[in-house]
Amino acid sequence: MKDKFYTYIQQLQETITSKLEEVDGKAIFKEDIWERPEGGGGRTRVIENGDVFEKGGVNISGVHGELPKSMQSYFGVKDADFFACGLSLVLHPKNPMVPTVHANWRYFEMYDKQGNIVDQWFGGGQDLTPYYLFDEDAKHFHSACKSACDKHRPDFYDTYKKRCDEYFWNAHRNEARGIGGLFFDYCKATDDMTMENWYDFVTEVGNSFLESYIPIVTKSKDLDYTKEQRDWQEIRRGRYVEFNLVHDKGTLFGLRTNGRIESILMSLPPHVQWRYDHQPEKGSEEARLLEVLATPKEWVKG
């Protein structure tokens, strides 16, 4: 399974980066091949200073070795080895009318000292972080997520949409990071879902990514915007940074397993502002965004 999924994310990285370069029309991805001293490595691809994407990364990795003590404590195991692979992407468009997007699809195996698999699971999801909220964009994104889920189980969309709303919650700000999408983790074999079934579901979601996001980008990438709107984008990016550094499990896992720091922090935007107690004008589009982020919304019917 690990070889099958790693082959899949290699191909998906090619598909996604090629399409993003086509949409940007100027910038191309810089590729960085790296190795992890403890075992494994990855292929980082970063795009910067484009006509559409100010900064973004589409990274894959496959790492293995002894599970660090901090993670052994987290999982409640001793003397375990692991293998983890996944594709993680974040895209920060230049135009504040185009939302930031994040996605991740991953697979994990844990072994005893004889090399036997003692646990395995899939995880992942995708979520949208707008700076100016276009309802039709939110509905399109969630509709694509629901369509991918509905091909596998009728309850998947409602379940994983709710988990996404719960996970991407900036508790110290009491607001959502964005308008959600899907989040699933620890997807293990059960009586009604084999690991092959989970593989089919996770790859279905991965394959739906470009359809969920690219139409939103092409619709708004050439819209006019003001300096004040750009300032708002950078202020809201600050909340994105706060979530990733304070709450995100993927970031913390990477740091605790001696992950490659440049790849881990690739998700951070290049230009950010923190203004003391900044409050948007009442009745403004900026204020409307905050109202929606205060209470997760149902964008499509389950």
Question: Could you tell me the CATH number of the domain that includes residue 151?
Answer: 3.40.1500.10
| Arithmetic mean of pLDDT over the chain | 94
Determine which one of 64, 92, 102, 172 is catalytic: 102
* pLDDT per position as a tens digit, 272-286: 999 999 999 999 999
Please state whether 124 falls in left (phi above 0), alpha (psi between -120 and 50) or beta: left
Task: Determine, yes or no, domain membership for 160.
Answer: yes
Whether residue 140 lies in the annotated active site: no
CA–CA–CA angle 246, 249, 255 (5° rounding)? 80
Task: Determine, yes or no, domain membership for 114.
Answer: yes
Task: Determine, yes or no, domain membership for 202.
Answer: yes
Taking the C-alpha atoms of residue 255 and residue 265, their distance in angstroms, rounded to an integer, is: 10
Task: Determine, yes or no, domain membership for 191.
Answer: yes
Is residue 44 within 8 Å of 59, Cβ to Cβ? yes
Taking the C-alpha atoms of residue 51 and residue 36, their distance in angstroms, rounded to an integer, is: 33
Taking the C-alpha atoms of residue 172 and residue 176, their distance in angstroms, rounded to an integer, is: 10
Q: Which domain holds residue 18?
A: 2-294
pLDDT of residue 302: 58
Task: Determine, yes or no, domain membership for 301.
Answer: no
* pLDDT per position as a tens digit, 44-70: 999 999 999 999 999 999 999 988 777
Q: Assign 260 a pLDDT band (cuts: 50, 70, 90).
A: confident
Q: What is the pTM of this model?
A: 0.94
* pLDDT per position as a tens digit, 65-85: 988 777 777 777 888 899 999
Q: How many domains does the chain have?
A: 1
Task: Determine, yes or no, domain membership for 13.
Answer: yes
Is residue 263 within 8 Å of 42, Cβ to Cβ? yes
